[in-house]
Amino acid sequence: MPITPTAPRRPLPRPPENPLVVALAYDGLCTFEFGVAVEIFGLARPEMGPGWYRFAVAAAEPGPLRAMGGVRVLCDGGPELLDEAGTIVVPGWRGADAPVPAAIRDALGRAHARGARVLSLCSGVFVLAAAGLLAGKACTTHWRYAAALAAAYPDLTVRPDVLYVDEGDVLTAAGSAAGIDLCLHLIRRDFGAEAANSVARRLVVPPHREGGQAQFVEAPVPRPREGARLGPLLDALRARLDRPHTIASMATEAGMSVRTFLRRFKAATGLAPAEWLLAERLARARTLLETTDASLDDVAAAAGFGATTTLRHHFRSRLGTTPGAYRRRFRGAVSLAAS
């Protein structure tokens, strides 16, 4: 099934006019999601220049606040800090049925109305929904909470099978590590691909996972015997994306029958072989467009698309743009972020 883009088309990325990111803290704080916000937006990054994010923490209620694991949290201020933010991060919530304080609902509504962006990580989507920020929009959350979210807010389009959804000024991420993907996606929007790649390197995570990627696969870690066959095959395919590959040739290289290969490949990666190859080729093409001045013909050949027309077709169907527009967007963002 094609992966539909989750982000609307936008002009060339540029640093936010208001760089203040405010994370919401609450009693019962989810420490992993909160740590993601702190690590990505709160860590000093002098190499990014003076336009980088500033960071603060707002208490959703009077303290002291307890976080998961017995940690106590002292915050920079209360809900009034949301009135100053350019970006607000809600890192989880204490329960799908837990009420959201009226002061937080009102502060989020005011901030969003004046133009602040609001992000939720994992169960934080329930706070956004309670504040009325998701009415009529698509969103996501951890797959365990998706049914409860859809039942509580039937006017939302809940997408339980994706890592994150970007609705422009409201962005939602699935569980735990998907919050990293969404935050890197926002950096990519604001400062361009090289800035996002730099942060990803420091985090030691992949620089980009498409928002439409599945939250989980049936068997992400193959059984030892299958891993010994499929692992080297995947590495070999990545090294030879510019060459043609058929189901039969891949099955032969893996030492399996075609039927067994198709079943085990899908179980291990979550994708059919053709879909996996297309995703890898698109990733290769995007990297080449972002980091080199190679012609579109050369990019198409190096990524295994053969013809530029094929490259353009898949960019339009999967990413909603053209290779040339993609290059202008992300290559141009580098100079803006450095300025």
Q: Where are the domains of the chain?
A: 20-203, 224-270, 275-338
- 3-state SS, 38-55, equals HHHHHCCCHHHCCCCCEE
Checking DSSP bridges between strand 164-166 and strand 170-173, what pairing results, if any? Answer: antiparallel
**Fold classification of 275-338 (topology level):** Arc Repressor Mutant, subunit A (1.10.10)
The predicted structure's pLDDT at residue 182? 92
The predicted structure's pLDDT at residue 286? 87
Q: Can you tell me whether residue 240 is helix, strand or coil?
A: coil
The predicted structure's pLDDT at residue 228? 58
The predicted structure's pLDDT at residue 2? 31
Distances from the Cα of 260 to the Cα of 56, 167, 252, 253, 328, angstroms: 53, 40, 11, 13, 43
Domains 20-203 and 275-338 share a fold: no
The tokens describing 268, both together, are 């291990």
Residues 6+ apart with CB under 8 A from 219: 267, 268
The tokens describing 109, both together, are 């509504």
CB-CB neighbours of 154 under 10 Å? 8
**Fold classification of 20-203 (topology level):** Rossmann fold (3.40.50)
Give residue for tokens 């959350």. Answer: 141
The tokens describing 175, both together, are 């569980």
User: Given its phi and psi angles, is residue 112 left (phi above 0), alpha (psi -120 to 50 degrees) or beta?
Assistant: alpha
CA dist., res. 269 & res. 218, Å (int): 8
The predicted structure's pLDDT at residue 338? 35
CA dist., res. 72 & res. 76, Å (int): 14
Indicate the length of the chain as a whole number: 339
Predicted confidence pLDDT, tens digits, the chain (339 residues): 233 334 334 445 578 899 999 999 999 999 999 999 999 999 989 888 888 999 999 999 987 899 988 899 999 999 999 999 999 999 999 999 999 999 999 999 999 999 999 999 999 999 999 999 999 999 999 999 999 999 999 999 999 888 899 999 999 999 888 999 999 989 988 988 788 888 988 888 866 565 555 554 333 344 444 545 688 898 899 999 999 999 999 999 999 999 999 998 887 777 899 999 998 999 899 889 988 889 999 999 999 999 999 999 999 888 778 999 888 876 644 433 333
Q: Can you tell me whether residue 234 is helix, strand or coil?
A: helix
CA dist., res. 82 & res. 101, Å (int): 14
Q: 58 and 76 in contact (C-beta within 8 Å)?
A: yes
The predicted structure's pLDDT at residue 223? 46
